[in-house]
Amino acid sequence: MSLRQFMSLRPLTRALAAVKDGLVHGWDETAQALGLQEDLYANPRHRPLSRPVTVVLIGAGHRGTVYANFAARYPAEMRLVAVADPNPHRRDRLARLHGVASERCLDRWEQVFDRPRMADAVIIATPDALHSEPCLRALELGYDVLLEKPIAPTEAECRAILAKAQATGRLVGVCHVLRYTPYFRELKALLDKGLIGELISIQHLEPIEHVHMSHSYVRGIWRKSESSTPIILAKSCHDTDIIRWLVNAHADNVHCFGNLKWFTNANAPQGSTERCTDGCQVEHECPYSALQIYLRDRKRLYVFDLPEDSTLWDATILLNLKTSDYGRCVYRMDNDQPDHLTVNILFKNEVTAAFSMEAFVSYEGRRTRIMGSLGDVTGDMESFTLTSFKTGKRRSWRMKTDAHGGGDHAMVRDWVQAVGQQDATLLSSSIAESVESHLMAFAAERSRLQRTIEDVRL
Protein backbone atom coordinates (compact mmCIF):
# COMPACT_ATOMS: atom_id res chain seq x y z
CA MET A 1 0.00 0.00 0.00
CA SER A 2 1.35 3.44 -0.87
CA LEU A 3 1.73 6.10 1.81
CA ARG A 4 -1.02 8.16 0.13
CA GLN A 5 -3.40 5.18 0.17
CA PHE A 6 -2.51 4.47 3.81
CA MET A 7 -3.20 8.05 4.86
CA SER A 8 -6.51 8.15 3.02
CA LEU A 9 -7.87 5.36 5.21
CA ARG A 10 -10.07 6.22 8.16
CA PRO A 11 -8.10 6.29 11.43
CA LEU A 12 -9.61 3.03 12.64
CA THR A 13 -8.66 1.24 9.45
CA ARG A 14 -5.20 2.74 9.69
CA ALA A 15 -4.93 1.51 13.24
CA LEU A 16 -5.98 -1.94 12.18
CA ALA A 17 -3.47 -1.83 9.35
CA ALA A 18 -0.85 -1.01 11.95
CA VAL A 19 -1.46 -4.14 14.01
CA LYS A 20 0.64 -7.11 12.94
CA ASP A 21 0.80 -10.57 14.47
CA GLY A 22 -0.74 -9.44 17.72
CA LEU A 23 2.06 -6.90 18.13
CA VAL A 24 0.72 -3.44 18.89
CA HIS A 25 1.73 -0.58 16.65
CA GLY A 26 -0.46 2.41 17.50
CA TRP A 27 -0.95 5.09 14.87
CA ASP A 28 1.23 7.51 16.80
CA GLU A 29 4.16 5.15 16.54
CA THR A 30 3.30 4.30 12.97
CA ALA A 31 2.96 7.96 11.99
CA GLN A 32 6.22 8.72 13.77
CA ALA A 33 8.01 5.87 12.04
CA LEU A 34 6.75 7.16 8.71
CA GLY A 35 7.70 10.74 9.63
CA LEU A 36 4.10 11.93 9.45
CA GLN A 37 2.86 14.95 11.39
CA GLU A 38 -0.63 15.42 10.01
CA ASP A 39 -3.89 15.47 11.94
CA LEU A 40 -5.10 11.90 12.03
CA TYR A 41 -8.63 13.13 12.46
CA ALA A 42 -8.75 15.55 9.55
CA ASN A 43 -12.46 15.87 8.86
CA PRO A 44 -13.31 15.90 5.15
CA ARG A 45 -16.23 18.22 5.95
CA HIS A 46 -13.91 20.89 7.36
CA ARG A 47 -13.18 23.75 4.93
CA PRO A 48 -10.78 26.66 4.92
CA LEU A 49 -12.79 29.60 6.32
CA SER A 50 -12.91 32.92 4.47
CA ARG A 51 -12.08 34.67 7.77
CA PRO A 52 -11.44 33.59 11.35
CA VAL A 53 -14.52 33.04 13.53
CA THR A 54 -14.59 35.94 16.02
CA VAL A 55 -15.17 35.09 19.66
CA VAL A 56 -15.89 36.75 23.00
CA LEU A 57 -14.47 34.78 25.89
CA ILE A 58 -16.51 34.87 29.11
CA GLY A 59 -14.42 33.44 31.96
CA ALA A 60 -10.66 33.65 31.47
CA GLY A 61 -9.77 30.93 33.97
CA HIS A 62 -8.33 27.47 33.46
CA ARG A 63 -10.72 26.26 30.73
CA GLY A 64 -11.14 29.64 29.10
CA THR A 65 -7.37 29.81 28.65
CA VAL A 66 -7.29 26.36 27.00
CA TYR A 67 -9.89 27.50 24.47
CA ALA A 68 -8.22 30.88 23.91
CA ASN A 69 -4.97 29.03 23.19
CA PHE A 70 -6.67 27.57 20.13
CA ALA A 71 -6.94 31.10 18.70
CA ALA A 72 -3.27 31.75 19.42
CA ARG A 73 -2.29 28.52 17.71
CA TYR A 74 -4.67 28.72 14.75
CA PRO A 75 -5.20 32.45 14.05
CA ALA A 76 -6.70 31.78 10.63
CA GLU A 77 -9.52 29.84 12.29
CA MET A 78 -10.44 31.75 15.43
CA ARG A 79 -9.83 35.26 16.79
CA LEU A 80 -10.49 36.51 20.29
CA VAL A 81 -12.02 40.00 20.15
CA ALA A 82 -13.22 40.55 23.72
CA VAL A 83 -12.75 38.99 27.14
CA ALA A 84 -14.86 39.25 30.31
CA ASP A 85 -13.60 38.20 33.74
CA PRO A 86 -13.62 40.00 37.11
CA ASN A 87 -10.08 38.75 37.78
CA PRO A 88 -7.81 41.44 36.27
CA HIS A 89 -4.73 39.19 36.24
CA ARG A 90 -6.44 36.56 34.08
CA ARG A 91 -8.35 39.00 31.90
CA ASP A 92 -5.33 41.20 31.15
CA ARG A 93 -3.02 38.26 30.50
CA LEU A 94 -5.31 36.90 27.81
CA ALA A 95 -6.04 40.38 26.42
CA ARG A 96 -2.28 41.00 26.04
CA LEU A 97 -1.73 37.63 24.41
CA HIS A 98 -4.54 38.09 21.91
CA GLY A 99 -4.27 41.83 21.28
CA VAL A 100 -7.75 42.54 22.65
CA ALA A 101 -8.50 46.30 22.77
CA SER A 102 -8.81 47.69 26.31
CA GLU A 103 -12.42 48.83 25.74
CA ARG A 104 -13.27 45.19 25.10
CA CYS A 105 -11.80 43.93 28.38
CA LEU A 106 -14.83 43.63 30.62
CA ASP A 107 -15.35 42.84 34.31
CA ARG A 108 -18.48 40.76 34.17
CA TRP A 109 -20.41 38.66 31.68
CA GLU A 110 -23.41 41.04 31.78
CA GLN A 111 -21.33 43.81 30.18
CA VAL A 112 -20.84 41.67 27.07
CA PHE A 113 -24.55 41.78 26.41
CA ASP A 114 -25.06 45.46 27.28
CA ARG A 115 -23.62 46.31 23.88
CA PRO A 116 -24.51 45.32 20.33
CA ARG A 117 -23.24 41.97 19.12
CA MET A 118 -19.48 42.25 18.66
CA ALA A 119 -18.51 38.80 17.41
CA ASP A 120 -19.82 35.63 15.77
CA ALA A 121 -19.83 33.63 18.97
CA VAL A 122 -19.16 33.49 22.70
CA ILE A 123 -17.29 30.91 24.70
CA ILE A 124 -18.74 30.53 28.20
CA ALA A 125 -16.18 29.15 30.65
CA THR A 126 -17.47 30.64 33.90
CA PRO A 127 -18.21 28.65 37.08
CA ASP A 128 -21.12 26.19 36.82
CA ALA A 129 -23.73 28.51 38.34
CA LEU A 130 -22.92 31.18 35.74
CA HIS A 131 -23.62 29.19 32.58
CA SER A 132 -27.31 29.46 31.85
CA GLU A 133 -27.90 33.21 32.13
CA PRO A 134 -25.05 34.27 29.80
CA CYS A 135 -25.96 31.44 27.42
CA LEU A 136 -29.60 32.54 27.17
CA ARG A 137 -28.59 36.19 26.70
CA ALA A 138 -26.05 35.24 24.04
CA LEU A 139 -28.62 33.26 22.08
CA GLU A 140 -31.12 36.11 22.28
CA LEU A 141 -28.54 38.49 20.83
CA GLY A 142 -27.75 36.14 17.95
CA TYR A 143 -24.42 34.71 19.13
CA ASP A 144 -23.49 31.09 18.60
CA VAL A 145 -22.16 29.53 21.79
CA LEU A 146 -19.51 27.15 23.05
CA LEU A 147 -20.70 26.27 26.54
CA GLU A 148 -18.63 24.59 29.20
CA LYS A 149 -20.17 21.57 30.84
CA PRO A 150 -22.27 21.15 32.85
CA ILE A 151 -24.84 23.00 30.76
CA ALA A 152 -26.45 24.28 33.97
CA PRO A 153 -26.97 23.16 37.59
CA THR A 154 -30.70 22.50 37.20
CA GLU A 155 -32.86 20.50 34.84
CA ALA A 156 -35.09 23.53 34.21
CA GLU A 157 -32.15 25.67 33.08
CA CYS A 158 -30.89 22.92 30.75
CA ARG A 159 -34.32 22.64 29.16
CA ALA A 160 -34.55 26.45 28.85
CA ILE A 161 -31.25 26.54 26.95
CA LEU A 162 -32.42 23.78 24.61
CA ALA A 163 -35.68 25.63 23.97
CA LYS A 164 -33.89 28.93 23.36
CA ALA A 165 -31.38 27.32 20.98
CA GLN A 166 -34.27 25.79 19.03
CA ALA A 167 -36.27 29.02 19.01
CA THR A 168 -33.37 31.21 17.86
CA GLY A 169 -31.81 28.63 15.52
CA ARG A 170 -28.42 29.43 17.04
CA LEU A 171 -25.80 26.82 17.65
CA VAL A 172 -24.76 25.60 21.11
CA GLY A 173 -21.77 23.28 21.39
CA VAL A 174 -21.22 21.73 24.82
CA CYS A 175 -17.62 20.97 25.79
CA HIS A 176 -17.87 17.19 25.79
CA VAL A 177 -14.15 16.97 25.14
CA LEU A 178 -13.94 13.22 25.73
CA ARG A 179 -15.87 12.58 22.52
CA TYR A 180 -12.92 14.05 20.66
CA THR A 181 -10.24 11.86 22.16
CA PRO A 182 -8.68 9.21 19.91
CA TYR A 183 -9.65 6.61 22.51
CA PHE A 184 -13.40 7.21 22.50
CA ARG A 185 -13.53 8.04 18.79
CA GLU A 186 -12.06 4.68 17.94
CA LEU A 187 -14.23 2.84 20.45
CA LYS A 188 -17.29 4.44 18.90
CA ALA A 189 -16.15 3.60 15.35
CA LEU A 190 -15.50 0.02 16.41
CA LEU A 191 -19.01 -0.36 17.84
CA ASP A 192 -20.63 1.33 14.85
CA LYS A 193 -18.84 -1.09 12.54
CA GLY A 194 -20.27 -4.00 14.53
CA LEU A 195 -16.83 -5.43 15.32
CA ILE A 196 -18.14 -6.95 18.56
CA GLY A 197 -21.57 -7.79 17.16
CA GLU A 198 -24.53 -6.37 19.00
CA LEU A 199 -23.77 -4.24 22.03
CA ILE A 200 -25.05 -5.90 25.21
CA SER A 201 -23.60 -3.95 28.12
CA ILE A 202 -20.93 -1.51 29.32
CA GLN A 203 -18.91 -1.19 32.50
CA HIS A 204 -17.32 2.20 32.86
CA LEU A 205 -15.04 3.52 35.62
CA GLU A 206 -14.12 7.13 36.20
CA PRO A 207 -11.13 7.20 38.53
CA ILE A 208 -10.95 10.78 39.76
CA GLU A 209 -7.63 10.19 41.60
CA HIS A 210 -7.42 11.07 45.26
CA VAL A 211 -5.46 14.35 44.99
CA HIS A 212 -7.65 15.61 42.13
CA MET A 213 -10.68 14.83 44.31
CA SER A 214 -9.25 16.76 47.25
CA HIS A 215 -8.34 19.71 45.05
CA SER A 216 -11.60 20.16 43.16
CA TYR A 217 -14.36 18.52 45.19
CA VAL A 218 -13.15 18.87 48.79
CA ARG A 219 -11.20 22.15 48.86
CA GLY A 220 -12.13 23.58 45.48
CA ILE A 221 -15.06 25.48 44.03
CA TRP A 222 -17.05 22.31 43.30
CA ARG A 223 -17.07 21.08 46.90
CA LYS A 224 -20.72 21.95 47.58
CA SER A 225 -23.35 20.63 45.26
CA GLU A 226 -25.65 23.53 46.09
CA SER A 227 -23.26 26.30 45.04
CA SER A 228 -21.83 24.43 42.03
CA THR A 229 -23.50 21.25 40.72
CA PRO A 230 -23.92 17.71 42.08
CA ILE A 231 -20.72 15.83 41.31
CA ILE A 232 -22.54 13.44 38.99
CA LEU A 233 -22.97 16.48 36.72
CA ALA A 234 -19.87 18.46 37.59
CA LYS A 235 -17.53 15.53 37.06
CA SER A 236 -19.47 12.77 35.37
CA CYS A 237 -21.73 14.39 32.78
CA HIS A 238 -18.83 13.56 30.43
CA ASP A 239 -19.42 9.92 31.29
CA THR A 240 -23.20 9.90 30.97
CA ASP A 241 -22.64 11.54 27.59
CA ILE A 242 -20.01 9.02 26.49
CA ILE A 243 -22.07 6.04 27.63
CA ARG A 244 -25.18 7.32 25.86
CA TRP A 245 -23.16 8.05 22.72
CA LEU A 246 -21.66 4.54 22.65
CA VAL A 247 -25.02 2.88 23.32
CA ASN A 248 -26.76 5.13 20.79
CA ALA A 249 -30.18 4.88 22.42
CA HIS A 250 -32.31 6.82 24.88
CA ALA A 251 -31.86 5.95 28.54
CA ASP A 252 -34.96 4.61 30.25
CA ASN A 253 -34.21 4.12 33.96
CA VAL A 254 -31.39 5.07 36.29
CA HIS A 255 -30.38 4.02 39.76
CA CYS A 256 -27.59 5.45 41.89
CA PHE A 257 -25.94 4.80 45.26
CA GLY A 258 -23.22 7.03 46.63
CA ASN A 259 -22.17 9.16 49.57
CA LEU A 260 -19.46 11.19 51.21
CA LYS A 261 -17.66 8.61 53.32
CA TRP A 262 -14.14 9.85 54.00
CA PHE A 263 -13.64 13.61 53.66
CA THR A 264 -15.66 14.49 56.76
CA ASN A 265 -14.97 16.20 60.09
CA ALA A 266 -15.32 12.85 61.90
CA ASN A 267 -12.21 11.58 60.09
CA ALA A 268 -9.96 14.50 61.02
CA PRO A 269 -6.80 12.92 62.50
CA GLN A 270 -5.70 13.81 66.00
CA GLY A 271 -3.15 16.59 65.87
CA SER A 272 -4.55 18.01 62.64
CA THR A 273 -5.30 21.73 62.45
CA GLU A 274 -7.67 24.00 60.50
CA ARG A 275 -4.95 24.66 57.94
CA CYS A 276 -1.96 22.56 56.93
CA THR A 277 0.17 25.65 57.64
CA ASP A 278 -1.02 25.90 61.29
CA GLY A 279 1.56 23.43 62.61
CA CYS A 280 -0.46 20.28 61.85
CA GLN A 281 1.24 17.34 63.58
CA VAL A 282 0.33 14.83 60.86
CA GLU A 283 1.12 17.03 57.88
CA HIS A 284 4.11 14.93 56.80
CA GLU A 285 2.14 11.67 56.71
CA CYS A 286 -1.10 13.05 55.21
CA PRO A 287 -1.60 12.30 51.48
CA TYR A 288 -3.70 15.48 51.22
CA SER A 289 -1.19 17.88 52.79
CA ALA A 290 -1.59 21.20 50.98
CA LEU A 291 2.07 21.95 51.66
CA GLN A 292 3.00 18.73 49.89
CA ILE A 293 0.59 19.06 46.96
CA TYR A 294 1.01 22.74 46.10
CA LEU A 295 4.29 23.90 47.63
CA ARG A 296 6.58 20.88 47.44
CA ASP A 297 5.07 18.98 44.49
CA ARG A 298 3.96 22.12 42.60
CA LYS A 299 0.72 20.47 41.49
CA ARG A 300 -2.44 22.24 40.20
CA LEU A 301 -0.95 25.69 40.63
CA TYR A 302 -3.21 27.29 38.02
CA VAL A 303 -5.64 28.29 40.78
CA PHE A 304 -3.11 30.67 42.34
CA ASP A 305 -2.49 33.24 39.56
CA LEU A 306 1.27 32.99 40.09
CA PRO A 307 3.48 35.90 39.00
CA GLU A 308 5.73 35.44 35.98
CA ASP A 309 8.83 35.73 38.21
CA SER A 310 9.17 32.18 39.54
CA THR A 311 11.40 33.30 42.42
CA LEU A 312 8.20 34.71 43.97
CA TRP A 313 6.26 31.47 43.68
CA ASP A 314 7.08 29.95 47.08
CA ALA A 315 5.93 33.08 48.90
CA THR A 316 2.79 33.39 46.75
CA ILE A 317 1.82 29.76 47.21
CA LEU A 318 2.40 29.96 50.98
CA LEU A 319 0.30 33.10 51.23
CA ASN A 320 -2.49 31.32 49.34
CA LEU A 321 -2.27 28.29 51.61
CA LYS A 322 -2.63 30.59 54.63
CA THR A 323 -5.59 32.52 53.23
CA SER A 324 -7.48 30.49 50.59
CA ASP A 325 -9.52 27.28 50.78
CA TYR A 326 -6.64 25.39 49.15
CA GLY A 327 -4.68 25.48 52.44
CA ARG A 328 -7.52 24.14 54.61
CA CYS A 329 -7.55 20.66 56.12
CA VAL A 330 -9.51 18.28 53.87
CA TYR A 331 -11.28 16.88 56.94
CA ARG A 332 -12.47 20.27 58.17
CA MET A 333 -14.17 21.64 55.06
CA ASP A 334 -17.86 22.32 54.39
CA ASN A 335 -17.92 19.90 51.44
CA ASP A 336 -20.86 17.63 50.64
CA GLN A 337 -20.01 15.97 47.30
CA PRO A 338 -19.95 12.14 47.39
CA ASP A 339 -16.48 10.62 47.16
CA HIS A 340 -17.77 7.44 45.54
CA LEU A 341 -20.86 6.53 43.61
CA THR A 342 -22.22 3.83 41.35
CA VAL A 343 -24.89 4.29 38.69
CA ASN A 344 -26.85 1.65 36.79
CA ILE A 345 -28.55 2.63 33.55
CA LEU A 346 -31.12 0.70 31.51
CA PHE A 347 -31.44 1.91 27.93
CA LYS A 348 -34.52 1.62 25.75
CA ASN A 349 -32.72 -0.92 23.54
CA GLU A 350 -32.18 -3.14 26.64
CA VAL A 351 -28.46 -2.41 26.85
CA THR A 352 -27.32 -1.88 30.43
CA ALA A 353 -24.46 0.25 31.72
CA ALA A 354 -22.77 0.18 35.12
CA PHE A 355 -20.83 3.33 35.91
CA SER A 356 -18.60 4.03 38.94
CA MET A 357 -17.03 7.31 39.97
CA GLU A 358 -14.22 6.76 42.48
CA ALA A 359 -12.11 9.27 44.40
CA PHE A 360 -9.86 6.77 46.15
CA VAL A 361 -7.60 5.66 43.36
CA SER A 362 -3.99 6.43 42.60
CA TYR A 363 -4.53 6.89 38.86
CA GLU A 364 -6.61 8.86 36.37
CA GLY A 365 -7.98 7.83 32.98
CA ARG A 366 -11.30 6.14 32.35
CA ARG A 367 -11.45 2.34 32.28
CA THR A 368 -13.95 0.70 29.95
CA ARG A 369 -15.26 -2.81 29.37
CA ILE A 370 -17.70 -3.30 26.53
CA MET A 371 -19.53 -6.56 26.07
CA GLY A 372 -20.95 -7.52 22.65
CA SER A 373 -22.56 -10.61 21.16
CA LEU A 374 -19.42 -11.49 19.16
CA GLY A 375 -16.61 -10.13 21.28
CA ASP A 376 -15.54 -7.81 24.05
CA VAL A 377 -13.30 -4.81 24.53
CA THR A 378 -11.26 -3.68 27.53
CA GLY A 379 -9.57 -0.31 27.59
CA ASP A 380 -7.84 2.23 29.81
CA MET A 381 -7.91 5.49 27.79
CA GLU A 382 -4.47 4.85 26.31
CA SER A 383 -5.09 1.52 24.68
CA PHE A 384 -7.81 -1.04 24.23
CA THR A 385 -8.02 -4.67 23.22
CA LEU A 386 -10.76 -6.41 21.28
CA THR A 387 -11.15 -10.17 21.66
CA SER A 388 -13.20 -12.13 19.13
CA PHE A 389 -15.28 -14.96 20.66
CA LYS A 390 -15.13 -16.97 17.43
CA THR A 391 -11.37 -16.96 16.85
CA GLY A 392 -10.06 -15.97 20.28
CA LYS A 393 -7.81 -13.49 18.47
CA ARG A 394 -6.93 -10.23 20.14
CA ARG A 395 -6.33 -6.93 18.48
CA SER A 396 -4.98 -3.92 20.33
CA TRP A 397 -5.01 -0.19 19.71
CA ARG A 398 -2.67 2.23 21.45
CA MET A 399 -2.82 6.00 21.35
CA LYS A 400 -0.98 8.94 22.81
CA THR A 401 -3.05 11.33 24.89
CA ASP A 402 -2.76 14.56 26.87
CA ALA A 403 -4.70 15.54 30.00
CA HIS A 404 -8.02 15.39 28.17
CA GLY A 405 -6.98 12.54 25.97
CA GLY A 406 -6.16 14.91 23.11
CA GLY A 407 -9.74 16.18 22.87
CA ASP A 408 -9.67 19.90 23.71
CA HIS A 409 -8.50 21.48 20.49
CA ALA A 410 -10.16 18.88 18.26
CA MET A 411 -13.43 19.90 19.89
CA VAL A 412 -12.80 23.63 19.42
CA ARG A 413 -11.94 23.05 15.75
CA ASP A 414 -15.24 21.22 15.10
CA TRP A 415 -17.13 24.02 16.84
CA VAL A 416 -15.27 26.73 14.88
CA GLN A 417 -16.10 24.89 11.67
CA ALA A 418 -19.74 24.53 12.73
CA VAL A 419 -19.93 28.30 13.40
CA GLY A 420 -17.94 29.23 10.29
CA GLN A 421 -20.07 27.04 8.04
CA GLN A 422 -23.27 27.62 10.07
CA ASP A 423 -23.82 23.89 10.19
CA ALA A 424 -24.66 22.35 13.59
CA THR A 425 -24.29 18.83 12.19
CA LEU A 426 -20.52 19.35 12.27
CA LEU A 427 -20.69 19.10 16.07
CA SER A 428 -20.31 15.64 17.54
CA SER A 429 -23.18 16.30 19.92
CA SER A 430 -26.30 18.35 19.32
CA ILE A 431 -27.54 20.46 22.22
CA ALA A 432 -30.55 18.10 22.45
CA GLU A 433 -28.25 15.08 22.97
CA SER A 434 -26.13 16.99 25.47
CA VAL A 435 -29.22 17.95 27.46
CA GLU A 436 -30.33 14.32 27.39
CA SER A 437 -27.09 13.10 28.94
CA HIS A 438 -27.52 15.76 31.63
CA LEU A 439 -31.07 14.51 32.29
CA MET A 440 -29.56 11.07 32.93
CA ALA A 441 -27.29 12.66 35.54
CA PHE A 442 -30.16 14.57 37.17
CA ALA A 443 -32.13 11.32 37.36
CA ALA A 444 -29.13 9.61 39.00
CA GLU A 445 -28.89 12.37 41.60
CA ARG A 446 -32.62 12.10 42.37
CA SER A 447 -32.16 8.36 42.76
CA ARG A 448 -29.16 8.77 45.07
CA LEU A 449 -30.95 11.24 47.31
CA GLN A 450 -34.31 9.47 47.39
CA ARG A 451 -33.12 5.83 47.08
CA THR A 452 -35.39 5.25 44.11
CA ILE A 453 -35.19 3.96 40.57
CA GLU A 454 -35.79 7.01 38.39
CA ASP A 455 -37.16 7.45 34.87
CA VAL A 456 -35.09 9.63 32.58
CA ARG A 457 -37.66 12.28 31.68
CA LEU A 458 -36.92 13.37 28.12
Ligand X SMILES: NC(=O)c1ccc[n+]([C@@H]2O[C@H](COP(=O)([O-])OP(=O)(O)OC[C@H]3O[C@@H](n4cnc5c(N)ncnc54)[C@H](O)[C@@H]3O)[C@@H](O)[C@H]2O)c1
235 is an interface residue for ligand X by CB under 6 A? no
Strand order in the sheet with 78-84: 105-106, 78-84, 53-58, 121-124, 144-147, 172-174
Do residues 434 and 238 touch, judged by C-beta distance below 8 A? no
How many residues bind ligand X (CB under 6 A)? The answer is: 24
86 is an interface residue for ligand X by CB under 6 A? yes
**Nearest CB to ligand X, comparing residues 175 and 295:** 175
Long-range contacts of 163-171 (CB under 8 A, 24+ apart): 164/135, 164/136, 164/139, 164/140, 165/139, 165/431, 168/139, 168/140, 168/142, 170/138, 170/139, 170/142, 170/143, 170/144, 170/145, 171/144, 171/145, 171/418, 171/419, 171/422, 171/424, 171/427
219 is an interface residue for ligand X by CB under 6 A? no
**Nearest CB to ligand X, comparing residues 91 and 398:** 91
454 is an interface residue for ligand X by CB under 6 A? no
Sign, CA dihedral 75-77-82-86, equals negative
* Cα–Cα–Cα angle for 328, 331, 336, rounded to 5 degrees: 100
Site for ligand X in 166-185 (CB under 6 A): 175, 177
Taking CB under 6 A as the binding criterion, the range among 29-37, 61-69, 200-208, 416-424 that sits at the site for ligand X is 61-69
Site for ligand X in 304-343 (CB under 6 A): none
d(CA 168, CA 116): 17
Q: How far is the CB of 124 from ligand X (least distance, A)?
A: 8
Strand order in the sheet with 394-398: 394-398, 383-388, 375-379, 367-372, 199-207, 352-358, 340-347, 251-259, 453-455
**Nearest CB to ligand X, comparing residues 131 and 395:** 131
Site string for ligand X, 140-159 (x = CB under 6 A): --------xx----------
Report the residue from 47, 51, 62, 299 that binds ligand X according to the rule CB under 6 A. 62
Report the residue from 52, 59, 375, 420 that binds ligand X according to the rule CB under 6 A. 59
Q: How far is the CB of 237 from ligand X (least distance, A)?
A: 9
Site string for ligand X, 110-139 (x = CB under 6 A): ---------------xxxx-x---------
87 is an interface residue for ligand X by CB under 6 A? yes
Q: How far is the CB of 365 from ligand X (least distance, A)?
A: 14
258 is an interface residue for ligand X by CB under 6 A? no
Report the residue from 12, 57, 84, 330 that binds ligand X according to the rule CB under 6 A. 84
88 is an interface residue for ligand X by CB under 6 A? no
**Nearest CB to ligand X, comparing residues 85 and 144:** 85
Report the residue from 26, 52, 61, 379 that binds ligand X according to the rule CB under 6 A. 61
**Nearest CB to ligand X, comparing residues 125 and 435:** 125
- Interacting residue ranges for ligand X, rule: CB under 6 A: 58-64, 84-87, 90, 108-109, 125-128, 130, 148-149, 175, 177, 234
